Amino acid sequence: MPKIGVLALQGDFREHLASFERLGQRAQMVRTVEDLAQVDALVLPGGESSVIDRLSRNYGLADPIKERIADGMPVYGSCAGMIMLADRIENPAIARDGAVQQSFGGIDMTVKRNAFGRQVDSFEHQLDFNGHTLEAVFIRAPEAVQVGPDVEVISTVQAGPNGGQGRIVAVRQGKLLATSFHPEVTGSTAIHQFFINLTRGDA
C-alpha cells in the first residue's frame, strides 16, 4: 500500500486524513523534510495558499517538495492546494515587504485565486468527476483560467455566483491532480479513492 502524506502546515489537513481513514488507507501528516522522505504521495490541503507558501519555505519544505514533484511523486491539491500545484498564479498575494506569493508548480496551468468571489460567495454545485456525480463545495475557490496541452480537464462547472460557462475546476497532469473544491469537507470519498488508484498506477 502506498504511504500517503498530507501537508499539515495550515488548512484542513485533518479532514483529508479522515477521508483516507474512511477508505481504510493509511495517511500521515507531513511537517518536516524527514516526514516527506517517508511518503510515496502527498496531499496539499485547502486553506490559504499564501500561508502554505510562506510556511513551506520557512520550514525548508518548498524545495524538497518541488524536487519530489519533478521526480514524479503523485500529488493531489484541493483548493489552496490546487493553487500550490499551478505553474502560474494570475493574482498572487503580495506581502507587505513586497514578496510575491509562489507556488510549487507542476501543472501547466494558470489559476486565478478567489475566482468565484469572496467567502460569502461560497457555494455548492453538482458536478461530474470521472463518472461520479458529486456535490462539490467551493470556498473562495480558484479556477484554472488557462491550461497547457498536457493537462486533462476532468470537471467544469457551468455556473458560479458570477455565472460563466464551463469553468475548469478539476484537472490532471500525469500523477498530479487538482480540484478547486473540497471533497474532504463533504464526506464524499470518490476523489480520494481516485487519488489512491492514481498512486497505485491504476488511474
Could you confirm whether 184 is annotated as catalytic?
A: yes
Given 10, 25, 49, 189, the residue binding ligand GLN (CB under 6 A): 49
Count of all residues that appear for the chain in the document: 203
Q: Does 47 bind ligand GLN (CB under 6 A)?
A: yes
Collect all residues with Cβ–Cβ distance below 8 Å to 12 and sequence separation of at least 6: 45, 46, 47, 182, 184, 185
Q: Does 80 bind ligand GLN (CB under 6 A)?
A: yes
Which of residues 102 and 114 has its CB atom nearest to ligand GLN in the complex? Answer: 114
Could you confirm whether 143 is annotated as catalytic?
A: no
Q: Does 139 bind ligand GLN (CB under 6 A)?
A: yes
Spatial separation of the C-alpha atoms in residues 90 and 87, rounded to whole Å: 10
SS3 letters for 142-190?
CEEEEECCCCEEEEEECCECCECCCEEEEEEECCEEEECCCHHHHCCCH
Torsion of CA 128, 29, 56, 182, to 10 degrees: 20
Query: Which of 87, 93, 14, 5 shows the shortest CA–CA distance to 50?
Result: 93
> Strand locations in 71-163, DSSP E?
75-78, 86-89, 107-112, 123-129, 132-138, 143-147, 152-157
Provide the 8-state DSSP code for 120. G
Q: Does 92 bind ligand GLN (CB under 6 A)?
A: no
Q: Does 48 bind ligand GLN (CB under 6 A)?
A: yes
Q: Does 113 bind ligand GLN (CB under 6 A)?
A: yes
Catalytic residue among 79, 125, 143, 192: 79
Q: Please work out the total of residues on this chain that contact ligand GLN, with binding judged by CB under 6 A.
A: 11
Could you confirm whether 90 is annotated as catalytic?
A: no
Q: How far is the CB of 124 from ligand GLN (least distance, A)?
A: 13
Q: Does 83 bind ligand GLN (CB under 6 A)?
A: yes
Q: Does 178 bind ligand GLN (CB under 6 A)?
A: no
Q: How far is the CB of 108 from ligand GLN (least distance, A)?
A: 20
Residue ranges at the known binding site: 47-49, 113, 139-140
Residues that bind ligand GLN (CB under 6 A): 46-49, 79-80, 83, 113-114, 139-140
Residues marked active site are found at: 79, 182, 184
